[in-house]
Amino acid sequence: MKSCLTLKKSNCKNCYKCIRHCPVKSIRFSGNQAHIIEQDCILCGQCFVVCPQDAKQIVDETEKVRVLLQSGAPVVVSLAPSFIANYDGVGIESMRNALKQLGFYDVEETAIGATFVKREYERLLRDEKRDIVISSCCHTVNLLIQKYFQKALPYLANVLSPMQAHCMDIKARIPNAKTVFIGPCVSKKDEAEYYGDTVDAVLTFDELSAWLKKEHISLEQSDAPKTEGRARFFPTAGGILKTMEQNQPGYTYLAVDGVENCIRVLHEIENGTLRQCFIEMSSCAGSCIGGPAMERHPRSPVRDYIAVSQYAGTADFAVHQPNYAALQKQFSYIERSAALPSEIEIRQILEQMGKFKPEQELNCGSCGYDSCREKAIAIYQGKADMSMCLPYLKEKAESFSDTIVKNTPNGLIVLNQSLEVQQINAAAMQIMNIRYAGDVLGDQVVRILEPKIFLDVLKTGRGVYNERIYLAEYSRFVERTIVQDRESKMLICIMRDVTNEENERKKKETISRNTVEVADKVIDKQMRIVQEIASLLGETAAETKIALSKLKESMEDE
């Protein structure tokens, strides 16, 4: 299968929206990026339509068409009948004039090929008396059956699509012609590539509009045809049936649009509950006018249908019907490699996601899969991983954070913008002598703490860090930090009980102060002793001096 959809990796944001909308879950996530599994994809284009980041892109073939135009061969456009819904009030003549300015040889309506196809459907029912016939116009439906509903494959009409039938007719009429289909579909690019050289290139309406804009070519309003062209109804839901003669006795004619509805009907066919019916199947809701490459979003199904209805004629195009053999197309089963896990392996994966009982399987669909069981199978097949289960991640994160909150020695209080207590841990409860968390949860913080500092942080947005205060009502010293989480607007107060540290510090200060006082007293006492000794020594020295002086005088007299 041709890779018609590409991914801009930097734009993928793990929203899983593409998986939720993929009807066959052909997308896998690896390295936090979405990857399209080509062998499973049916090219419905839903991932392209719903991606909020424009991470999915349709492969642009504009340059390929430019090369065809430069080749010198006559390049003819097969224009899908949904163009009238995409380009308001612009008829085939205006489209022809604009496209000829780009260098195309001619422009014809794919509705001509649709006329061939609907006549062949009528022949199958009339001449071959088939039990069930499923229309083969939609390549996405064909891929769905080829890949996922092998038992229904024999009922798929072995008839070319209108695009193929028309381009085949163009090449039969115009020697050496090259053909370019322009329409609202992604899968037509793959169909053109897969089935040979009948269709040389495919452009979407998006690509054509961008090209016209670049060349400064405008589309003019024109009157709608009124007679021929009943096959222009083909791009609407039930449009194929509207063009067909529904006159085969015993047959039921029904139209089914949207992949999910097609899947339901295909299950019924495989179960054998349907008989004798012609089923028009379209993968897009509303059929081709709801195609992924229709430019206007959101679409207006009623307005688009009215545009097609007013443009369509009441009779078939006056064209010569090719031989039925020339319109035949063979479909084969396309094998997918994804293996299915055993029941034991599914249970093991579910248990890894924390799903030990059926009632724990929430089946919320947040991962993109309809059930936890489908998610487990996808994990086994390498399409998904555990991290895509949001309840699992939430519980894991909450368990991890709860473990931290519960076991941290620091007190933790969380307040909302109204200063109501949203969370409090055991350490904080111990600091403030709170017996049960429920006693304060939801209450104003003023009940347990002075609110002014919280109001200041809430008002200024500036946090308070490592502020040491005394909580007199609790006889506690704490070192607190108060910050505001800008995302949730919550206030977080972290308190570290430093009462013992503060008491120890005061004790040391008292001991130091007492030591200094004792030292001062000792010093004073020593100084007094020294002074007393000095005084005594001074008196003794004087008396001795006097005695010696007298003795000296006495000896001199003798």
Query: Each residue of 478-537: pLDDT tens digit?
Result: 999 999 988 878 899 999 999 998 888 888 888 888 887 887 787 788 888 877 887 777
Predicted local confidence at residue 399, as pLDDT: 63
Predicted local confidence at residue 482, as pLDDT: 94
**Confidence at 174, pLDDT banded by 50, 70, 90:** very high
**Confidence at 376, pLDDT banded by 50, 70, 90:** confident
Which 3 state secondary structure label does DSSP give 24?
Answer: coil
**Confidence at 388, pLDDT banded by 50, 70, 90:** low
On the question of pLDDT at 549 being above 70, the answer is no
Q: Tell me: the pLDDT tens digits for 207-233?
A: 999 999 999 999 998 766 667 899 999
Angle between helical axes of 187-194 and 139-148 (0-180°, round to 10) = 70
On the question of pLDDT at 558 being above 60, the answer is no
**Confidence at 298, pLDDT banded by 50, 70, 90:** low
On the question of pLDDT at 317 being above 70, the answer is yes
**Confidence at 477, pLDDT banded by 50, 70, 90:** very high
Mean pLDDT rounded to a whole number for the chain: 87
What are the distances in angstroms from CA 344 to CA 177, 379, 387, 388?
59, 14, 21, 21
A 10 A CB-CB count for 425 gives 19
Q: What are phi and psi of 174, to 5 degrees?
A: -115, 110
Asked if residues 417 and 401 have their Cβ atoms less than 8 Å apart, the reply is no
Asked if residues 204 and 183 have their Cβ atoms less than 8 Å apart, the reply is yes
Task: Provide the residue type at 413 as one letter.
Answer: I
Mean per-residue pLDDT, 468-478:
92
Mean per-residue pLDDT, 258-267:
96
Distance (Å, whole) CA 282 – CA 287: 5
C-alpha of 373 from chain center? 20
Give the residue from 309, 308, 289, 307 showing the smallest Cα distance to 299: 289
Query: What's the N-to-C CA distance of the chain in angstroms?
Result: 149
Lowest pLDDT segment from 79-93, 447-461, 531-545: 531-545
Q: Tell me: the pLDDT tens digits for 186-208?
A: 999 999 999 888 999 999 999 99
Predicted local confidence at residue 15, as pLDDT: 79
On the question of pLDDT at 84 being above 90, the answer is yes
Predicted local confidence at residue 20, as pLDDT: 84
Asked if residues 121 and 135 have their Cβ atoms less than 8 Å apart, the reply is yes
A 10 A CB-CB count for 81 gives 28
Could you tell me where the DSSP H helices lie in 277-342? 301-311
Asked if residues 133 and 184 have their Cβ atoms less than 8 Å apart, the reply is no
Reply yes or no: is the peptide bond before residue 298 cis, omega within 30 of 0. yes
On the question of pLDDT at 64 being above 80, the answer is yes
Higher pLDDT, 358 or 205: 205
Distance (Å, whole) CA 115 – CA 409: 80
Which 3 state secondary structure label does DSSP give 486?
Answer: coil
Mean per-residue pLDDT, 140-166:
96
Predicted local confidence at residue 297, as pLDDT: 59
**Confidence at 351, pLDDT banded by 50, 70, 90:** confident
Which 3 state secondary structure label does DSSP give 159?
Answer: strand
On the question of pLDDT at 544 being above 70, the answer is no
Predicted local confidence at residue 137, as pLDDT: 97
Predicted local confidence at residue 543, as pLDDT: 67
User: In the chain, pLDDT over 70 holds for what percent of residues?
Assistant: 90
Which 3 state secondary structure label does DSSP give 502?
Answer: helix
Lowest pLDDT segment from 58-62, 179-183, 437-441, 545-549: 545-549
Mean per-residue pLDDT, 133-162:
96
**Confidence at 301, pLDDT banded by 50, 70, 90:** confident
Predicted local confidence at residue 52, as pLDDT: 84
User: In the chain, pLDDT over 90 holds for what percent of residues?
Assistant: 57
**Confidence at 552, pLDDT banded by 50, 70, 90:** low
pTM recorded for the entire structure? 0.71
Predicted local confidence at residue 201, as pLDDT: 96
Higher pLDDT, 520 or 326: 326
Measured on CA atoms in the order 159, 164, 169, 175, is the torsion positive or negative? negative
Measured on CA atoms in the order 258, 260, 261, 266, is the torsion positive or negative? positive
What are the distances in angstroms from CA 382 to CA 16, 21, 37, 213?
15, 19, 11, 43
Write the DSSP symbol of residue 293.
Answer: T
What are the distances in angstroms from CA 105 to CA 16, 60, 179, 455?
44, 21, 10, 75
Q: Tell me: the pLDDT tens digits for 438-450?
A: 889 999 999 999 9
Higher pLDDT, 449 or 348: 449
Mean per-residue pLDDT, 226-252:
92
How buried is 139 (Cβ within 10 angstroms: 0-12 exposed, 13-18 middle, 19+ buried)? buried
Asked if residues 144 and 252 have their Cβ atoms less than 8 Å apart, the reply is no
Which 3 state secondary structure label does DSSP give 181?
Answer: strand
Asked if residues 114 and 341 have their Cβ atoms less than 8 Å apart, the reply is no
DSSP 259-276: HHHHHHHHHHHHHT---S
Q: Where are the beta strands (DSSP E) in 161-251?
A: 178-183, 201-204
